[in-house]
Amino acid sequence: MESRFQGAEMGSELLPGLLFCFDSVSAGGAQRSTLTSYGLSTSIRDAWLASYDSTHYYRLGLNVYENLTKIGKNVGFIGLGNMGSHMARNLITAGYKVTVHDINENSMKKFSDDGIPTKQSPLEVSESSDVVITMLPSSSHVLEVYNGTNGLLGGGSHLGPWLYIDSSTVDPQTSRKISTAISRCHLKENKGYVENPLILDAPVSGGVPAAEAAKLTFMVGGLEEAYLAAKPLLLSMGKRAIYCGGAGNGSAAKICNNMAMAISMLGVSEAFALGQNLGIKASTLTDIFNCSSARCWSSDTYNPVPGVMEGVPSSRNYDGGFTSKLMAKDLDLAMASASGVGFKCPMGSEALEIYRKLCGDCCELKDFSCVFRHYYAGKDEE
């Protein structure tokens, strides 16, 4: 169910938070007349109809186009790190009215210097937002931002925002805990188009380059109606949003993805280092991998060997990107979640130990691809 329209149409004519109602099973005249009655242009209407499987029957129980200016134009964004800062700026570019917060005053100053409103607490952000997005380093940070003093839920059980989106990488249990807390709350005002506040766990994949280029992939858990409503907003920051099921399933998908990514990076780095020791240049192996069965993201998009690929962390001494510390954190989440369901992950466990060692060897702030140089003792391409 991937949206087939982008850019100006999504950011302007199709305002944030679009919800719609299919009146019959087939994508025929009934839907077209309904969508037209809500003021959608022919191009936007047909794009939506083309985007969704006509065999699905969506009756969302929420009003649509006449409420769009109220639903989601004001967005709060909390967490302005390597990823969040780019995501927030892409929302601004798309036409959203964004208010930001971060515990790092310098991060906020970069926004305030550009005239973007900043707030001193998550609670203050929520007071001026229809939708709040959080992008935070860990489960403990997420719990503090939502449940802590002056947190998003610190004003009691009656909330201003109608939708919360947590794009942090956390364990599924944390996502489900926050979802349960939100489900017990009510809206301060009757908005007409939604009865109670909703939350999605929507972690991302693609790293800093994709965040900057608005090409992230969102893995989304929560109520499907909320996912459909949030999709235009998510696609202002990314190229794709994938619905994963109920609360916590987005987070589950993300930790599985990152475990596979870590194992892949280790395998590629090990192979490159072995090749160098056998007298084969890493650039030659890269050409072979990328047209053979070893091809993967770690070889063709995020190559770990300095001197092989421009624009990736390995080309700048492994600075920037996705830190080894965060990779160790994500692997720890995956192993804890596996243990919770009695599942053994021998390769994931080994990957965790390697990244823990990297962190102990003062590489915690280096991009996780530094494993090539600092664990396997790989050499730069000459």
- Measured CA to CA, the distance from residue 364 to residue 355 in angstroms comes to 8
Please identify which of the residues 119, 177, 231, 254 carries the catalytic annotation: 254
3-state secondary structure at position 100? strand
Long-range CB pairs of 238-245, under 8 A, 24+ apart, other chains included:
238/204, 238/206, 238/210, 238/214, 239/210, 239/214, 239/215, 240/2, 241/2, 241/3, 241/202, 241/217, 242/217, 242/218, 243/1, 244/219, 244/220, 245/221
Tell me the DSSP string of 124-172: HHHHT-SEEEE--SSHHHHHHHHHSTTSTTTT-SEES-SEEEE-S---H
- Measured CA to CA, the distance from residue 259 to residue 332 in angstroms comes to 9
- Measured CA to CA, the distance from residue 7 to residue 14 in angstroms comes to 10
CB atoms within 10 A of CB 295: 14
Nearest to 372 by CA among 295, 363, 332: 363
281 catalytically annotated: no
- Measured CA to CA, the distance from residue 371 to residue 298 in angstroms comes to 12
CB atoms within 10 A of CB 156: 9
Q: ∠ CA 338-205-120 to the nearest 5 degrees? A: 100
- Measured CA to CA, the distance from residue 150 to residue 147 in angstroms comes to 8
Nearest to 98 by CA among 111, 82, 83, 110: 111
- Measured CA to CA, the distance from residue 354 to residue 307 in angstroms comes to 24
- Measured CA to CA, the distance from residue 219 to residue 204 in angstroms comes to 6
**Token duo for residue 62:** 């929420």
Just list the catalytic residues: 254
